[in-house]
Amino acid sequence: MNAPIASSIDQRKIFPDAVVALQGLLRDGMTIMSGGFGLCGIPENLLIALRDSAVKNLTVISNNAGIDDVGLGMLLKNHQIKKMISSYVGENKEFERQYLSGELQIEFNPQGTLAERIRAGGAGIYGFYTRTGAGTSVAQGKESREVDGHTYILETGLTADVAIVKAWRGDSEGSLVYRKTARNFNPMMATAARVTVAEVEELVPVGTLDPDHIHTPGIYVQRVIQGAHYTKHIEQRTVRKRN
Amino acid sequence: MWSREQMATRAAQELQDGFYVNLGIGIPTLVANFIQPEHHIVLQSENGMLGMGPFPYEGEEDADLINAGKQCISQLPYSSFFSSADSFAMIRGGHIDLSVLGAMEVAENGDLANWMVPGKMIKGMGGAMDLVAGVKRVVVVMEHVAKDGSAKFKPQCSLPLTGANVVDMLITDLAVFSRPNRQSGFELTQLAPAVTIDDVIANTTAAFTIKI
C-alpha cells in the first residue's frame, strides 16, 4: 500500500490566540458547548474571548455555569446567555438572580444523560434509552419503553455550532491529551460540534504525543491555540495536615 | 442517637472488600474516613476518576484533580482517569457496587427525593439520578426527621423524585432500615444507642417491619 506521507508539518489548525480562533464562528442565537466540570478543565482563554466578542442570546451546553466572575459566570454577568443545558448550577448567585427573574432558561439533565447525549450527538446516534430519570420529572414528555421489568426513557443526542474545549497538551494535527480530572466533558464535546476550538496549556510539535495515548484524535478539532494564561481556579481548597 | 461520624461509620460497614464505591456529598463523603484498613475499596468520583485518594497535603493541591464536590483530592498508585461519558457508563452499566447518598425524603417503597424543593432555587440533580438508576446497591444516610421535626421516611415522597424504588438501605441518626430486595418492604434492623423502637415509630410515617 502506498499511503501518503506528509512532506511537511501542516499548520492550518494553529491559530495565534483565542480571539482570532473564534473569528467567523460566532453569531447571536447560536449553540455553544463549553467543556469543564466546575472550574476544572474549562477553556479559560476562549471564554474570555467569547465574553469580549459580545455575542448574545447563546444556548450554552455545559455541565455547570461557572461561579460569579469566573468561567461562564462572566458571560452570565454580561447577559450573553439565553439558555443553559446543564446538570448542576449551584455555585452561581448571578445565575440564580437571572433565572428567578425569567431572563435565563435552564434545562436540567442528569449528568450522565448529559454526557451521553453529547457523546451520541458526536457519534451520529439519534437517541438512546436509559433508566436514568425514569419515574421522575425528567421523564415527562419523553417516549418510554418497558424492558425486562425496567422502564427506560428516550434521550436524544446533542450537537452544537461550536465547541470550546481545554486540553493539557495538543499538536498542530489537533490531537489532544487531557490531564487528570480536567478531562471530564471535554472529549465528548470535541466530537459534537460543527467546529471545535481547543485551547491547550502546551502546544507541542507533531510526534511528541504518543499516538497510543491521544485522548481526542485530531479529526474532531478544527482550531487549536496555545492558551495565553491559566488561572486554574480551585473552588474548594481542601487539604490535610502532615503528621 | 448517632452523630454524623457515627452514621458514616455505620455506612462504612456496608463497603465490602473489593467493592467499587461512589460516595455522595455531605455525610456520605465522611464514609471514606471509616473504611476498614484491611479492605481494598476503590472510590469512584463521577467527574472521571477511579481510586480517589484523600485530601492533598497543603501545598500539593492540583487544580486538575478534584472530586465531584469540587474539593481538592489526591491520586493513588492505582488511580485512573476517564471522561464523564465513560464515568457514567460505569455507573449506568451497573459496574459500581455501592453508592452512599444523602436524601431529603425516602418513601416506604424505596423512592428517593434529594434534588429539589419546589419554590426554592433549583440547583440541578448533578449525577444523583444516574447513580440511583445504575449502581447495584444504594445506601441513603440522612437525619431521621426534618428541622421542623417532621418525618423524612414516609409513605410516599412529597418532593420531586430522584429515582423510583431505588433505595436498599436507610441509615439515620436513630436507626438502620434495610430490605433484602426491591420487591420487599423495609425492616428496622438496628437502633442507635439510647433509641427505642417507640422513638423510631414516633418519628416515622413510613410502614416498616421490626427485625431486631
Mutation to test the B interface, candidates A87, A181, A185, A200, most B Cβ within 10 Å = A181
Say if the Cβ atoms of A135 and B125 lie within 8 Å.
no
CA atoms within 13 A on the CB side of B205: 14
Q: Which helix (H) or strand (E) holds B110?
A: none
Strands A127-130 and A150-156: antiparallel
pLDDT at B122: 85
pLDDT at B121: 82
pLDDT at B30: 94
The maximal CA–CA distance of chain A, rounded, in angstroms, is: 64
Phi, psi of A213 (to 5 degrees): -115, 10
CA A93 from centre of chain = 22
Active-site annotation holder among B5, B14, B38, B46: B46
Question: CA A165 to CA A181: how far, in whole Å?
Answer: 14
Say if the Cβ atoms of A89 and B124 lie within 8 Å.
yes
| Low-confidence residues in chain B, pLDDT < 70 | none
> What is A81-148 written as a DSSP string?
EEEEEES--TT-HHHHHHHHTTS-EEEE--HHHHHHHHHHHHHT--EEEESTTTTSGGGTTS-EEEET
pLDDT at A6: 61
**Taken in order B57, B60, B64, B70, is the CA torsion positive or negative?**
positive
Distance from CA of B83 to the nearest CA of A (A): 5
B125 close to B162: Cβ distance less than 8 angstroms:
yes
pLDDT at A107: 96
B188 close to B200: Cβ distance less than 8 angstroms:
yes
**Taken in order A114, A115, A116, A118, is the CA torsion positive or negative?**
positive
Mutation to test the A interface, candidates B30, B84, B109, most A Cβ within 10 Å = B84
Distance from CA of B210 to the nearest CA of A (A): 29
B188 close to B208: Cβ distance less than 8 angstroms:
yes
Exposure string (b/e) for A112-122, b if CB count within 10 Å is 16 or more? bbbbbbbbbbb
Q: Which helix (H) or strand (E) holds B152?
A: none
Question: CA A18 to CA A140: how far, in whole Å?
Answer: 40
- To the query of whether residue B46 is one of the catalytic residues in this protein, the response is yes
Q: Which residue of B has its CA nearest to A85?
A: B124
Say if the Cβ atoms of B58 and A63 lie within 8 Å.
no
Mutation to test the A interface, candidates B83, B122, B156, B161, most A Cβ within 10 Å = B83
pLDDT at A4: 67
Say if the Cβ atoms of B66 and A184 lie within 8 Å.
no
pLDDT at A93: 83
Say if the Cβ atoms of A135 and B164 lie within 8 Å.
yes
pLDDT at A243: 76
pLDDT tens for residues B180-208?
999 999 999 999 999 999 999 999 999 99
Question: CA A154 to CA A139: how far, in whole Å?
Answer: 8
Say if the Cβ atoms of B58 and A242 lie within 8 Å.
yes
B105 close to B157: Cβ distance less than 8 angstroms:
yes
Q: Which helix (H) or strand (E) holds A45?
A: helix A44-53
ipTM of the complex: 0.96
Long-range pairs for A231-235: beta carbons < 8 A, 24 or more residues apart: A231/A44, A231/A70, A232/A39, A232/A44, A232/B63, A232/B64, A233/A39, A233/A67, A233/A70, A233/A71, A233/B63, A234/A39, A234/B61, A234/B63, A234/B66, A234/B72, A235/A38, A235/A39, A235/A67, A235/A91, A235/B66, A235/B70, A235/B71
Question: How many A/B residue pairs have CB atoms within 8 Å?
Answer: 182
Q: Return the closest-CA partner of residue A109 out of A47, A58, A185, A180.
A: A185
| Low-confidence residues in chain A, pLDDT < 50 | none
pLDDT at B110: 98
B64 vs A: CB within 8 A: yes
Chain B from 89 to 128: CB within 8 A of any A CB: 89, 91-92, 111, 121-128
User: CB-CB: which of B70, B85, B128 is closest to A188?
Assistant: B85
| Strand ranges across the sheet with B112-113 | B112-113, B105-107, B153-154
Distance from CA of B52 to the nearest CA of A (A): 11
User: CB-CB: which of B47, B55, B63 is closest to A232?
Assistant: B63
The maximal CA–CA distance of chain B, rounded, in angstroms, is: 51
pLDDT at A118: 98
Cα dihedral A204, A206, A211, A216, rounded to 10, equals 60
Q: Return the closest-CA partner of residue B19 out of B169, B11, B56, A111.
A: B11
Question: CA B119 to CA A170: how far, in whole Å?
Answer: 45
A233 close to A38: Cβ distance less than 8 angstroms:
no
Chain B from 32 to 51: CB within 8 A of any A CB: 45-49
CA atoms within 13 A on the CB side of A108: 24
